[in-house]
Structure 1
Amino acid sequence: MVATHVLLVETMLILSAFGQNDSVWQYQRLYNHLEKKLYGKLRPVLDQSKPVIVVVDAQLLGVQELHEKEQLLQSTIALSCRWKYETLAWNTSKYGGIKRIKFSPRDAWIPDLTVGNSVDALFVLTETNDNMNRIIVTSNGDATWDTGGNVLTACHMDIIKYPFDTQTCNIIIGKLEFDSEVYITSNNVNAISEMYEENGEWMLESAIVEQRLLYHDVTNLYIKLTLSRHSFFYILNVILPVVLLSFMMVLSFKIPPASGERLGYNTALLLTFVVLLNLVGDSMPRVSKHVSYLQLYVNYQLTIAVVVTALSVLLVNFAHTRNEANVPAIVKLYYKCCRKRNKAVNFTNLEEVSKTGKTEAVKEGVMKAESTFCSETDLLVDKEIVLQHIGNTLSWVFATMFIMSTILFFIVVLI
């Protein structure tokens, strides 16, 4: 019984080894048969006057970075190329039922596809790539080749609505030679892959594959990417500081000029505006055709800060002056306007009182109206009151300008 069992095991091992050797032998026969039909690098069609139709299915695996300053897109794509290898068809019954076989791209024909707008490496599919996948050929001549990698392409950006912008970038898949020997086409319309990895700064809205005809039987594939920026980071680090600094600049008019702190306060805010403007400018591409609304908004607030600082210098100078000749002209003008307004109000009250026939009230009104004709030296006596009125007026004026400009900025960039 034991001897019978041992004999059965030995028989199974021999048959198994024979089957493996037979499979290896069949593959060797098939390889030897097909190698004679590779014909070097000739196009894999029996009729060389006909083009090779290559179906390219493009998939986007990830967007690493979109450089605004250099206007470059760094992404990862995968390409699945399929074509009919007519010279490599075989009868499966003659080769142990083998239905498919693999060849190295160095030994077989591959389409010379390139990335047309690449700025780093022109060729995506190249024979010198050590990591190239092998070509899978089935018994009916269907060939499939998967390849891809990291590509760096040019992307012309529109930064008008930065950082609430949406960019459209193209990855162009074409041929090395513009001839009709190879016809490129695609079956898929959407290039978003299930393996796509989200980017922390950019959100992929769509990835559409378009086939464009250049001229007779010469086509290119355009992978059109629509990317929208995640703007929360820029709101916290750029826009919010600018808004807060502008608001604090308006509040500077509430600081008494005589305290001596207003100039240092305004100067510090002004320098902060300059630093923020440099940060925004460094992240922008140096293109004079387009200027972002954010740059205009920051420059506008910077201009307001300069005007506020200049007015603060004049008011502080008036607060510490004891000579009428050193009083700023704007303060004199404001003082005269207030005097004229008070005079008009007093005379109006005088006319109303005179109609009632009260003589004593008329005399009192005349004396009150005449008191408005004070000399400009009264500025030096009432300067604290004058400065308070000027500060309140200017604070409301610049607060209105700040609020209106901020509302207008958000309306423009968000619509």
Structure 2
Amino acid sequence: MAAAYIVIVAMLLTAYGQNNTFWENKRLHKHLEGNMDDKIRPLINQSSAIAVLIDVHLQAIQGLNEKEQQLESTIAIACHWNYETLVWNKSDFGGITGINISPKDAWIPELVLSNSVESMFLLTENRENTNNIAVMSNGDATWFTGGHLRTGCHIDITKYPFDTQTCTITISKTVSDSELYIRASSEKVTTVLYDENSEWSLKRSVVKTRALYEYITFLDIHITLARHSLFYTLNVVVPVALLSFMTVLCFKVPVASGERLSYSMALLLTFVVLLNLISESMPRVPKHISYLQLYVNCQLTIAFVITTLSIMLVNISYPKDEADIPCVVKLYFWYYNYRKRRQTVNLDSSEETAADKKSDRKPNTQPQSGTETVSSLDRSSVIHRIENVLFWGFMAIFICSTIMFLILVTI
């Protein structure tokens, strides 16, 4: 019986407390109703300025449009200020420490998104659809606003796809006067509820207060994003590098096989098709040219030069007469003969034994009068030497250009 009595008494006290809280809340709202005004600042001394502290909560990055240079983000902004006209004694109203009031009934700071791509986006333009204001017994108020924002962002694609972009969201007040002062309560942006973007990773986010004049203040939210480059590396950079390497290997295809020209032309056409696919995927920013564009065009130029040289080498390998051979190749033939004569002279003047001289020395079948012709030379051997020189030369160009590209996009 005693236990049942205690339970009944507790239920009665709970019910009484709930009724008392309801009536006390109603009485408190009626008490404060006369002190609310949505057009007058809640200050007893209207000649002083009201300070609004702002906390920024970054929730998501929807995307970064390089062509339009726009950032789409979802941000919640927590505003803190003090209502001097909405203060009450907790003991007089059943211990109520805080209430919620509608923004259409009380004053809220008029904030504007300065760099919005839409027409003068006001963070407080619709009071009826915004969140309620939480007011404590000492007058401290907290109000959340924000939403899906679309702001301008200066894009630099020089290091695409290994680029890092920094976008700024600027918040200011609608009127440049001394009645309202806004500043960030902390330089850190809260990212507890941040939803990671599939293309961009959040590297840094800070808030800084910028004062243009004494009473004209701005809040700059700096968001630094780094692009996820693995997809572009596997689908753009690696295919271009492999195709460039295969192009250099053209000089290792024997001319006698008859497949060198078809091999070179096939790689050149593949390069052109790949370049069209890459150009469609790359961001179009007229003011900037990425290192990747320069790298791809450099490799395309190398492929064009290699194809041209391959055609010339095939033509030299099967000339109709000696006049069809270029002067540069004839000069190399002359240098080739000159070196062979020098080697023969050095062998004759050496102090080796007669047996070694007999075994190492080769009969000199070349004319000594300097009137030797190209047809008397081993044309295939000379062309093979030229191909080796071109192979290692273009291989060095390919390696150096690739290393330079990787250094430029990663520093």
TM range (shorter): 0.7 to 0.9
Cα drift, residue 365 of structure 1: 6.0
Does residue 1:140 correspond to 2:138, yes or no? Answer: yes
Alignment match, 1:95:
93
Would you say 1:166 and 2:169 are equivalent positions?
no
Aligned residue in 1 for 2:407: 411
Secondary structure at 1:248 match in 2: helix
Aligned 8 A contact 1:161 1:293 in 2? yes
Whether 1:284 aligns to 2:277 is no
Task: Name the residue aligned to 1:305.
Answer: 303
TM-score in terms of structure 2 length: 0.86
Give the superposition deviation at 1:275: 3.9
Gaps of 5+ in 2: none
Match of 2:387 in 1: 391
The residue identity in structure 1 corresponding to 2:343 is: V
TM-score normalised by L of structure 1? 0.85
Contact 1:61-1:193 within 8 A present in 2 as well:
yes
**How big is each residue's C-alpha offset from its partner over 1:260-297, in whole Å with a ceiling of 9 and x where there is no partner?**
32223222322333344444444234233x33222222
Paired AA for residue 220 in structure 2: Y
* Letter matched to residue 387 of structure 1: I
Aligned twin of 2:262? 264
Q: CA deviation at 1:137?
A: 1.1
Partner deviation per Cα, 1:215-234 (whole Å, 9 max, x = no partner)? 01221111122222332222
Percent sequence identity over matched residues?
A: 49
**Structural RMSD (CA):** 3.4
CA contact (8 A) 1:85 1:142 kept: yes
Pick from 78, 82, 85: which aligns with 1:84?
82
* 1:352 to 1:34, Cα distance in 2 relative to 1, 3 A: same
Q: How many residue pairs are counted as aligned between the two chains?
A: 405
Residue 55 of structure 1 corresponds to which residue in structure 2?
A: 53
1:97-117 Cα deviation digits (max 9, x unpaired): 322111121222111112222
Aligned with residue 202 of structure 1, among 180, 200, 203: 200
Q: Please tell me whether the aligned partners of residues 53 and 83 of structure 1 are also in contact (alpha carbons under 8 angstroms).
A: yes
Aligned residue runs from structure 1 range 372-383, under 5 A: 373-378=371-376, 382-383=378-379
CA distance in 1, matches of 2:298, 2:205: 37
Question: 2: distance between equivalents of 1:371 and 1:388?
Answer: 26
Aligned-partner SS, 1:291: coil
Shift in alpha-carbon separation, 1:40–1:176, aligned structure 2, 3 A: closer
Distance 1:240 1:296 in 2: 15
Give distance in 1, aligned partners of 2:224 and 2:182: 23
For 2:210 and 2:203, the matched residues in 1 are separated by 22
Alpha carbons of structure 1 residues 92 and 366: separation in structure 2 relative to 1, 3 Å = closer
Q: Counterpart of 1:118 in 2: which secondary structure?
A: coil
2:406 and 2:150 mapped to 1: Cα distance? 33
What is the rounded CA distance, in whole Å, between the counterparts of 1:252 and 1:276 in structure 2?
19
Residues 94-143 of structure 1: per-residue CA shift (max 9 Å, x gap): 33332211112122211111222221464352242665211111122111
Q: Among 398, 402, 410, which residue is 2:398 paired with?
A: 402
Paired AA for residue 146 in structure 2: G
5+ residue gaps, structure 1, are none
Confirm whether residue 27 of structure 1 aligns to residue 20 of structure 2. no
